[in-house]
Amino acid sequence: MALLEVQDIHTFIGQFHILQGVSLEVPEGSITALLGRNGAGKTTTFKSILGLTPPRTGKVIFAGEEIQGRPAYEIASMGIGYVPEHRAIFTNLTVEENLRIAERRRGDLKKRADFIFTLFPDLKRLARLPAGHLSGGQQQMLAIARALVPDNRILLIDEPSEGLAPILIQELMEAIRRLSAEVTVLLVDQNFQMTSRLADRYSMIDDGRTVRSGTMADLLKEPEVIRRYLGAVI
Amino acid sequence: MKRYRATIAFVLIVGALIALGYAAFGPQKATAALLSGLTLAALYFLLGAGLSLIFGLMDVLNFAHGILFMVGAYVGYTVFGNPRLILNTAPLFLALAVGMMAGVRLGRFIPAHRVLPYLLGIGVMVWGVRGFPLRPLVAFEPTTAGGAIPTALAQEPLPRMMVRLVQLALAGLLLGPAFARWRREERRASPWRPVALGVGLAALAVLLLLGRDGLEKFLLGLSVDVRFLLALVAGAATGAALGALVETTLIRPFYGRPVTQIVLTLGLMFAGAELVKFVWGKEGRPPMAVPTAFSRSCRSPNLIAWLTEQCFSIDVLGRAFPTYRLLIIAIGLLILAGVALLLKYSRLGMIVRAGVQDSAMVEALGINVRRVFTTVFALGSALAALGGVVAAPFIGVYPEMGSTFQLQAFIAVVIGGMGSYTGTAVGALVLGLARALGDTLVTTGIALPGMAEALRASPAVARASTVLIMAIVLLVRPAGIFGKKE
């Protein structure tokens, strides 16, 4: 059964009809990739799921409950972690505060500290530093770590490899693979090489519409489709 | 070096102001001006802190902030000198609020037809307050401990007041549904909490009315000090309640529409000033009585001696300086430190600091940002109202005090850097000093060599000097001293 299901959502930003029918399913325990060119509507899909840009029509079903139209904080509290594009960590807070602010119950951070600091050992060393002093890679780790602090059942991770050195991308991939043992992941990344090796399933959107979805293994058998929709060559 | 540029700028400006003062007026007058400047700075800070926090977190330029300063002053003044007015009006407000709470909840079940009840509600409200003896109730003088209010027969008999109570509750019930759409469905853990709150408030309204005579005697029998404390608490609490009300009903529907907000809050400022004039009259009132520790008519040679003598003024280099103004400075410093600690160490403070940078991300973490907005709005309003009460024994109360102080507070916040807490404190200090030096310049003038008489400036120069300083600071640092680049 799908943990998260999006059914034919339409989202407007101002008067622009950005999403014109996006549907996707994220089975519990999987890593699902959301594929598409720049501007296809991947980030808007994330924001629509979270209620930051609520869809005008269509349904978003999380753990069997319809969540569209609810305020974003309520949706997030149900167990959806968001790792946005450009990280959006709080640069004037310390690393530790960035993690502590994500607590939904007192003591969340303490409970998860071991898990988080084994995944990202750097963060423990930097805990007292203002987050603005961190390198791009460290900020990305912090953004993911922040989403791991509360009991989230799914993480929406947007463009984690953007602007990172190849060696860091490897490290990050490994971290996402390891955390996926505990939490379901919906992933957007321009780096198709990385995504295709991580994800079990995919959903592809083009011009604000879902055009295909299925298992990653099947997609890799169709280089023609990949070239047409993503411009990527394997 | 770059990191300390703001601090260096600040030290240079304050240093230059102080040096200028000493060079032009000599140590005696300059020290007096310095202390006056600190007093003004404390008041500017109390107003500016809320302005800056609200702008930083919510991007709202609250042009109605001065209202809260003024309302705080008037409410504090009234609690201090004329509790009868409060005891006769507070129950009516409570009844209206209880009715509205019920109406808002009922409104969720009525999808349409809200305009007619709303108009009807306004009618019932007018019916409920018609003939209320406001004029005689308001006529008051500041009384001393144990004194009586010179409005013996102003109160209406209890049964008449009870009828008004019911009328206003009904008015609230009719008005409430119109506001229902602005509140989202909230799945509350306990549906009984709002009910309990409503019943509690209604009971409080009735009890206040039934016990009004006894309470009034009791309040007037209290010492000046206790009544001063009561005035502080009542002023700040009124400010917080009013701030929360304004945020939830008037500001919330217009987030992300800055022009609407500016027009709305500016209009509120004018409406508030007129309302205060309507209730308390166009003329201001003389300064409120100061607490006993600052009231004996003598002059203490120093602070240690003042502790035992409790004089009205203290000797500063041969000149008298009112000790109450030192209390204003102390309260300003206390609030400065208190809010700084709150911002640095509490969870609310952490959320506010994060929200100043990216409130959407804070919400995406599962935090109810709207509730944080309301809390911060209420907190900022409470600080402004507290500033008003503290200012009442210093400058008295008058209907223009809100807009006057708000303008200065805005200049202070702009000088310091919009949205920066440190900047607000710094801006208030710079502005307070500049203003006090300007005033000294007006009253004493500068003796230039070769001139028989000292060069005097008109009062307009003192007022203009603050704007001049703002212009200079903004030319050099467009975002203010501690402001971040856009």
The partner residue sitting opposite A97, judged by closest CB among B350, B361, B363, is B350
Disruptive mutation site among A50, A65, A74 for chain B (greatest number of B CBs within 10 Å): A74
Q: How far apart are CA A82 and CA B352, in angstroms?
A: 20
Residue A92 C-alpha, separation from nearest chain B C-alpha, in angstroms: 7
Neighbours of B266 (CB within 10 A): 14
B256 CB near a chain A CB, below 8 Å? no
The partner residue sitting opposite B369, judged by closest CB among A73, A77, A100, is A73
Q: Could you tell me which residues are beta bridge partners of residue B313?
A: B299, B322
B288 and B224 Cβ atoms separated by less than 8 Å: no
Q: Which of A184, A168, A176 has the alpha carbon at shortest distance from A144?
A: A176
Give the pLDDT confidence score for residue B238 in this predicted structure: 92
Is residue A144 in some structural domain?
A: yes
B361: nearest CA partner in chain A: A88
pLDDT tens per residue across span B197-213: 889 999 999 998 888 88
Q: In the structure, what pLDDT confidence band is assigned to residue B73 with cuts at 50, 70 and 90?
A: very high
B189 CB near a chain A CB, below 8 Å? no
CA atoms within 13 A on the CB side of B214: 5
A128 CB near a chain B CB, below 8 Å? no
By the 10 Å C-beta count (0-12 exposed, 13-18 middle, 19+ buried), A234 is classed as exposed
Give the pLDDT confidence score for residue A63 in this predicted structure: 87
Is residue A11 in some structural domain?
A: no
User: Cβ–Cβ of A82/B365 closer than 8 Å?
Assistant: yes
**% of chain B exceeding 70 in pLDDT:** 89
pLDDT greater than 80 at residue B465: no
A77: nearest CA partner in chain B: B366
B353 CB near a chain A CB, below 8 Å? yes
Q: In the structure, what pLDDT confidence band is assigned to residue B380 with cuts at 50, 70 and 90?
A: very high
Is residue A1 in some structural domain?
A: no
User: Cβ–Cβ of A92/B353 closer than 8 Å?
Assistant: yes
B353 chain-A contacts, CB cut-off 8 A: 90, 92-93
The partner residue sitting opposite A73, judged by closest CB among B353, B354, B363, is B363
Please report, for the domain that includes residue A125, its CATH number. Answer: 3.40.50.300
Average pLDDT rounded to a whole number, residues B360-382 = 91
How many domains does chain A divide into? Answer: 1
Phi-psi region of B120 (alpha: psi -120 to 50; beta: other; left: phi over 0): alpha
B257 CB near a chain A CB, below 8 Å? no
Give the pLDDT confidence score for residue B385 in this predicted structure: 95
Average pLDDT rounded to a whole number, residues B452-460 = 65
Is residue A6 in some structural domain?
A: no
Is residue A181 in some structural domain?
A: yes
pLDDT tens per residue across span B74-113: 999 888 888 888 888 889 999 998 998 888 887 777 666 6
Is residue A14 in some structural domain?
A: no
A46 CB near a chain B CB, below 8 Å? no
A98: nearest CA partner in chain B: B354
Out of B412-421, B444-453, B477-486, the most confident range is: B412-421
Q: What's the average pLDDT block by block, 10 residues per block, for chain A (234 residues)?
A: 84 85 87 85 89 88 86 90 88 90 86 84 86 86 88 88 81 85 87 85 87 83 78 61
A148 and A112 Cβ atoms separated by less than 8 Å: yes
pLDDT tens per residue across span B118-173: 888 889 888 888 888 887 777 655 455 555 665 555 778 888 888 999 999 999 88
pLDDT tens per residue across span A27-45: 888 889 888 888 888 888 9
What is the enclosing helix (H) or strand (E) of A7? strand A2-13
Single-letter residue type at B344? K
Disruptive mutation site among B184, B346, B362, B363 for chain A (greatest number of A CBs within 10 Å): B363
B252 CB near a chain A CB, below 8 Å? no
How many whole angstroms from its chain centre is CA B263? 20
pLDDT greater than 70 at residue B340: yes
Residue B348 C-alpha, separation from nearest chain A C-alpha, in angstroms: 10
Disruptive mutation site among A53, A74, A85, A90 for chain B (greatest number of B CBs within 10 Å): A90
Q: Which domain holds residue A219?
A: 29-53+69-230
Give the pLDDT confidence score for residue B186 in this predicted structure: 52
pLDDT greater than 70 at residue B302: yes
Is residue A170 in some structural domain?
A: yes
Single-letter residue type at A79? G
B162 CB near a chain A CB, below 8 Å? no
Give the pLDDT confidence score for residue B183 in this predicted structure: 46
Is residue A63 in some structural domain?
A: no
Give the pLDDT confidence score for residue B486 in this predicted structure: 45
Give the pLDDT confidence score for residue B131 in this predicted structure: 82
pLDDT greater than 90 at residue B420: no
